[in-house]
Structures are given as structure tokens and as C-alpha cells.
Amino acid sequence: MTDPIRHLTEAGRLGRFYSDGAWRDPAAAERIGVVDPAREAVIAEIALCGGPEVEHAVAAARRAFPAWSRTQPAERAALLDRVHGLVLDRLELFARALTAEMGAPITYARRAQVPLAAEHIRVARDLLATYPFLSQRGTTAIAREAIGVCGLITPWNWPLYQITAKVGPALAAGCTVVLKPSELSPLSALLFAEVMDEAGCPAGVFNLVNGTGPVVGEALATHPEVDMISITGSTRAGVLVAQAAAPTVKRVAQELGGKSPNVVLPDADLARCIPLGVAAAMRNLGQSCSAPTRMLVPRAHLAEVEALAKTAVAGFVVGAPLREETTHGAIANRAQFDRIQTMIRIGIEEGARLVAGGPGRPEGLTTGLFARPTVFSEVRRDMTIAQEEIFGPVLAILPYDSVEEAVEIANDTIYGLGAHVQGTDLEQVRAVARQIRAGQVHLNAPDWDPTAPFGGYKRSGNGREYGREGLEEYLETKSILGFYR
């Protein structure tokens, strides 16, 4: 069966949470609708959990932690291997869930959202074969041990991908987890909980509690038995979680907002790098925290860049997510759609020049949360659309007069999550990359690397995900002096 709503309904998952190895009914009967953004229709209802469910899940995770943290890496790797296989076996089911809950085109869900999510599990599994949980420094042993019970808070824009980016390394480290996915895109999380159960995850090691940030998120952040919070979300949400967690001095790892630059150097091959830059900015309809939505280009090449960007946008097909030819589906939720429309209007009012797109829906689409891929040019660095994260298909082109000015503009932001640099002279490309204050920099559109650490400078957060560094976020360091003789 590849219909996620029917599957979850028949399995009785929609109104339940997963804790201590079983699906359970919540204490209250509050429900929230899951909206298909392409149709603006409620397609399912899930249970909204609260304090009692958080208590149950945290207690289960605490009970399970001693035994799970003492398992051998090979045992943890075996579980992750089963999870990895089950995710790939159910690729179509997951893809259709993502299309239904957040408007992703089915082709993109199949090609990127699900397989890239599976990669996080694979990387965590493979790290267990080589990671030195115990190492020697003279006569001292350096032990890396699981931090404990982890509350994992994930967003609506890459629902499954962000779940696996946290669950994989947390379990590999020997932690137990309580997952709170976004209540706006919960279907893929429920399917993932089924995978964990069918993979034979020991009771209490993985738990799922659906609910809102102010209720379930805050309960996890303040809970004295939760040792760590990992959150991916807006900077505002990250600040609130950190404040709530402070009294219990728990570790907080944050992957937050971004306003990433794409620095196109004077010698760049524009015919290649501009279409790639536009595609990167509008991948997942721009609903990615690291999307390079500020394109910095030499002023002398501005007209050529504008023409190339306009042509690139014209090649997009915005429409029903289940159509095979659709490249860009619906914006994930009404609040985000409204914000995108507001920001486009602000761009026009502040004097940026509209190259493509604009406010409203694309021609021919009268319903659904469909936005027009939009390109602004002659954007000044002090404009709202150059400073604030829009989280939609809106690209700002900013001209510069020197490479030094380009670096200055690139760093003129409160964020520092990602960046791109394009150019022919590799030494100059590398030199510019070294000057940009961001946690991950892409040079000349490289392939995605699931082992490359990902995280932010400044208000884009702290801590890292992916690869070895992502695993280490879930570990404590213990030095044992005199261990070796």
C-alpha cells in the first residue's frame, strides 16, 4: 500500500503516540488537522499530546538508557542497518506522505527527500565501525560516552530528512530519544516510528510524541530527566528552547535560520553557475534554512545574470505535486505562504527590481498554496529581502564592485549557516570561502556530502549535524587518568 493516509488510518496510528515500544492513546482527546497545501484541505487528524505523554516517553527513555548505552557499537549498527533498509523499502510510501503533508513534488520526494534521509542513517551506521569511543593519550584514557536522554525537535520543511539526521547519530552514540516532529508535517514521522518498531528497536530507545512547540517542545526543554535538546527550526524557536533549557543546564544543539550568500566571482562561467544558483536557491521551494537566496554578482555582469536567472525560472513547472512534470509544488503551510507574499510586496515597495515572478499564484492556479518563483535584482544590502529569511522561492541579486566588497556583503548578516562561491580560479574561490563566516561553504556546486558537518555561525545556531561531528554532539567526554600503564 502506498497511500499513507489509508495506511496510517488502518493501522490506528493517527490518534496515538509511540512510547516504550508500543502505540498508546493519549490522555486527552485533542486533535489537529493535517492540511494538504496543494488542495488546502484537511486530509487527516493527529493527536496533540501534552505533559502526560511527554512524562511517559521521557520515563521510558530514561529506563532504557543504561542498557542501550552499554550495547556494543556493532549491535547499534545492526539496528540502524535494519532501519536504513526499511526506509528504502518504503520509499514510495514516505514520498507520498511528504507530498501530502508539505507539498513536495513527488519526483523530488522520491529523488531527494527520502533517499537523502536514508543516507543519514547509513552514515551513522558506518561510523560505528571506526569511531574511537575509547582512545589513549599517554597514560590517560579518553572515553566518549552517550550523553543520555535526548529530546529531538524537528521542522516541517524537510520532515523525514531532519528526523534521521538526529535519530541516526543519537542512537549510534548510545542515547535514547524522544522525538517531537512538527505538528504541521507529522505523517512521515508516524511512518518512521513504524519503521523503528518493525526494525526491532528496544522498548524506550525511540519514542515519538506529537504536539506543538509551546506544549511538547517546552516540556522536553524543561524536563530535568532530558539531558540534551537538538532543535532544527527558526532562530526565534531556538532561542525559546535554549531559554527553557537553561535552568537544567542541558546541552542544546541548534540548527536555525539562514540567509546564505552565493558569491559569483568575476571569472565565473555564468552560463553554468547562474542556473545552478537559481536552482539551489529555490530547491524545496526555497524552504531550506541554508538556501543561497542572496546571489552576489559583479555589477558589470548584472544584465547577463538577470537574463540567465529569468530563463532559469521560466523552466520551472509549478503545480500539483503528484504530477510527474512538476518541479515545484506547494508551499508547506498557510502561514509560510502568507509570509512569502508579504516579503515579495516589501521587496517591490523598497525599490528592488522585479526580474521574474511576483506576488500571487502562478498563472492558471486559482487554489492551493502555490507561489511564483521570484527574482529581484539591484537589491541593496540594507533591504528587508536581503536581511530577513523569507523561506520561500525568492532570490535577491545584489551587485558588487570588488571581490572585497562581495565578501563584506556576504558577511553582512546575522546568520552564518551556509554559503556558495563560484569561480574559475580555484585559489581565489578557496580564498573567498575562507573569509565567509558560515558553517558550510559549497565551491562550484559540488555533490552533496552526507559526512560533511553542517551547522551555523552567529544566529544560525551552534553545534553540528552530519558525519563524525554530528555523532559527537551526542557524546560526553570523560578522561580517566592512569588508565594505561
Contact 235, 256 (CB under 8 A): yes
Q: 92 and 118 share a domain?
A: yes
Q: 286 and 190 share a domain?
A: no
What cell numbers appear for 178 in the block?
Answer: 524522544
Beta strands in 37-102 (DSSP E): 41-47
Catalytic sites, residue numbers? 255, 289
> What is the domain range of residue 432?
261-449
Q: 237 and 283 share a domain?
A: no
Q: CA dist 351 to 216, 306, 480, Å?
A: 42, 16, 62
- Asked whether residue 474 is assigned to any structural domain, the reply reads yes
Burial 23-41 (b: 16+ CB within 10 A, else e): bbebeeeeebebbbbbbee
378 CB-contact burial (10 Å; exposed 0-12 / middle 13-18 / buried 19+): middle
Please name which of 27, 17, 30 lies closest in space to residue 57, comparing C-alpha atoms. Answer: 17
β-sheet with 440-443: strand ranges across: 353-356, 374-377, 394-400, 294-298, 261-264, 418-422, 440-443
**Which residues are bridge partners to 136 per DSSP?**
141
Kind of pairing between the strands at 418-422 and 261-264: parallel
- What local confidence, expressed as pLDDT, does residue 470 receive? 98
User: Terminus-to-terminus CA distance in the chain, angstroms?
Assistant: 60
Read off the CATH number of the domain in which 475 is found. 3.40.605.10
- Asked whether residue 485 is assigned to any structural domain, the reply reads no
Contact 337, 393 (CB under 8 A): no
| Cα torsion angle, 120, 121, 122, 123, sign | positive
Q: What stretches in the chain show pLDDT beneath 70?
A: none
- Asked whether residue 454 is assigned to any structural domain, the reply reads no
Contact 23, 16 (CB under 8 A): yes
Rounded distance, CA 256 to CA 455, Å?
8
- What local confidence, expressed as pLDDT, does residue 435 receive? 98
Read off the CATH number of the domain in which 267 is found. 3.40.309.10
Q: 70 and 181 share a domain?
A: yes
Rounded distance, CA 115 to CA 91, Å?
8
Q: 247 and 379 share a domain?
A: no
Q: 241 and 270 share a domain?
A: no
Q: 196 and 267 share a domain?
A: no
Q: 130 and 233 share a domain?
A: yes
Structural domain count of the chain: 2
- What local confidence, expressed as pLDDT, does residue 289 receive? 96
Q: 288 and 183 share a domain?
A: no
- Asked whether residue 78 is assigned to any structural domain, the reply reads yes
410: Cβ contacts below 8 Å, ≥ 6 apart? 261, 263, 294, 296, 419, 436
- Asked whether residue 437 is assigned to any structural domain, the reply reads yes
- What local confidence, expressed as pLDDT, does residue 56 receive? 98
Q: 191 and 280 share a domain?
A: no
**Which residues are bridge partners to 420 per DSSP?**
262, 442
Contact 68, 200 (CB under 8 A): no
Q: 466 and 346 share a domain?
A: no
- Asked whether residue 296 is assigned to any structural domain, the reply reads yes
- What local confidence, expressed as pLDDT, does residue 28 receive? 84
- What local confidence, expressed as pLDDT, does residue 346 receive? 98
Q: 3-state class of 350 per DSSP?
A: coil
Rounded distance, CA 75 to CA 431, Å?
44
Question: pLDDT tens digits, residue range 68-100?
Answer: 999 999 999 999 999 999 999 999 999 999 999
Residue 207 C-alpha from the chain's centroid: 20
- What local confidence, expressed as pLDDT, does residue 142 receive? 98
| DSSP label of 114 | H
Q: 161 and 176 share a domain?
A: yes
